[in-house]
Amino acid sequence: MTGWTQRRADAGRSSAAAVLSALPPRPARVAAVRALLGPVDPSVRPLALGIRGITHRNFDRHVLPLVDRHWPALRGLPFLYKLRVGACDLYASAPYTALFCAPRQPLPVRVVTTVGDRLPLPAPVLALLGRAALEVLGRLAFPEQHRRIVRIASFIAVVDHVLDHCLDGTPDERGALLEAVIDGLRPPRSPELALVRALVVAMGERLEPGERAAFAAAMGRLHDWIRAEVRAMKGEPDPEGLGHRRAGVEGGIDGLLFPVVRWAGEGARRWMYDVSMFMQILDDWFDAELDAAVDRSTPVLEGRWTFADIERGWRRTVENLEALVRAAGTGSPRYVRFVREVYALMLGEVIEAMARRPDL
């Protein structure tokens, strides 16, 4: 490390320590986020359970066998809990939520949204109808889409973990190795990398000719994300002031939306970008002490992201979700509120998991 680089690193640590000392303690930060989201409506939980029933069932069916084959020790590691929460409750749930405010919808979902928009049904009844529709959708229709969603969601969580915690060498060496394994140019020489490669192969199974270009584009965004993460590890400044987060946010969403984009459309993509960025800001806000302990620079520790950004991000995701519902032609105030409450409940439960487990 050159003298100038060392001085820059020391200055960064000093600045991060000053920001950290000015932040409220973690429990107070968690409490502020809970207050921002406000109370949830438990009567909409059946629809949330329907969405998560699909994602958890397909995780057990399509991801755990790959874990057992390639990284069996993961069964005994705390990361398996983080993987399940991240893949099933956060990432894979987003495409299904988007279907309930999509301009074109699979028939079981369209029946529920039409009934919910036109009839004065109470939220508990509508939530139960939505769960029934998802049971039909999840068990009888679109098996390839369900499989891809959960494998892509799991891949996002696994790649992030492997890059941060399972590789040796400089950031450039770690990034280059991970990219080479993903592309099949180097054999995976550890169980963690073997699972990464297995998920890549599984995600690309049985693609139709018209789907291959979209899948290749999504994988290209993945390489952009890895390179952005390498720049962040090296402490390079991000001209956007986002800690090199944009590539990961947008690349991950492009992958998740790929299986359902024929129904959800571009409006859902933009909304999912916003949700993913909001969660990234929130994650950095919660993890300020952990990031400072390992000298990881984040926009929170640089003083760029504050609680005001969390407030703006939350309101933006809610307002844009409501706009999506109205744009799909299901604009009754009752139905708009129902979709908003489902989103708030599901996101709130993920945030509670993050609050309980600082290692998430």
In a domain, 28, yes or no: no
Cα dihedral 268, 269, 274, 276 sign = positive
Asked if the structure places residue 250 within a domain, the reply is: yes
How would residue 310 be classed by pLDDT, with cut points 50, 70 and 90?
very high
% of the chain surpassing 70 pLDDT: 95
Work out the average pLDDT over 344-349. 94
pLDDT computed for residue 13 by the predictor: 61
Please indicate, yes or no, if residue 233 is contained in any of the structural domains.
Answer: yes
User: Which residue segment(s) compose the domain that 148 sits in?
Assistant: 36-356
Predicted local confidence at residue 136, as pLDDT: 84
Is the pLDDT score of 305 beyond 80? Answer: yes
Residue 87 lies in a domain: yes
Q: Which tokens hold the place of 5?
A: 């680089």
Question: Rounded mean pLDDT of 256-269?
Answer: 85
6 falls within a domain: no
For residue 264, is it within any domain? Answer: yes
Question: Is the residue at 2 inside a domain?
Answer: no
In a domain, 272, yes or no: yes
Write the DSSP string, 45-110. Answer: HHHHHHHHHHHHHHHHHHTHHHHHHH-GGGGGSTHHHHHHIIIIIIITHHHHHHHTT-SS--HHHH
Residues contacting residue 312 through CB under 8 Å, at least 6 positions apart: none
Compute the distance between CA of residue 74 and CA of residue 224 in angstroms, rounded to an integer: 27
pLDDT-based confidence at residue 254 (cuts at 50, 70, 90)? confident
Whether residue 323 contacts residue 99, with contact meaning beta carbons closer than 8 Å, is answered with no
State how far the Cα of 334 lies from the Cα of 259, in Å rounded to an integer. Answer: 29
| 3-class DSSP state of 352 | helix
Counting the structural domains of the chain, the total is 1
What residue has token string 């993050």?
Answer: 354
Mean pLDDT for the chain? 89
- What's the pLDDT at 4? 35
- Cβ burial of 63 (10 Å; 0-12, 13-18, 19+) is buried
Q: How confident is the model at residue 28 (pLDDT cuts 50, 70, 90)?
A: very high
Entry pTM = 0.87
CATH of the domain at 236: 1.10.600
Residues 16, 301: contact at Cβ < 8 Å? yes
Of 292, 298, 291, 347, residue with least CA distance to 318: 347
13 or 348, which is more confident:
348
Alpha-helical segments (H) within the chain: 3-22, 26-37, 45-62, 64-70, 79-84, 93-99, 107-118, 123-140, 143-165, 171-182, 191-203, 209-233, 246-257, 261-286, 288-293, 307-327, 333-356
pLDDT for position 260: 85
Query: For residue range 178-193, what is the model confidence (pLDDT) as tens digits?
Result: 999 999 999 999 999 9
User: In this model, does residue 360 exceed pLDDT 60?
Assistant: no
Which of 22-31, 152-161, 267-276, 294-303 is least confident?
294-303
Q: What phi-psi label fits residue 303: left (phi over 0), alpha (psi between -120 and 50 degrees) or beta?
A: left
pLDDT at 14: 63
| Total residues found in the chain within this entry | 360
Tokens 């279907």 locate to 99
Res. 128: pLDDT tops 90: yes
Q: 167: phi > 0 → left, psi -120 to 50 → alpha, else beta; which?
A: beta
Read off the pLDDT of residues 43-92 as tens digits, 9 standing for 90 and up: 999 999 999 999 999 999 999 999 999 999 999 999 999 999 999 998 99
Q: What is the mean pLDDT of residues 150-160?
A: 94
- Sole residue written with tokens 């050159």: 2
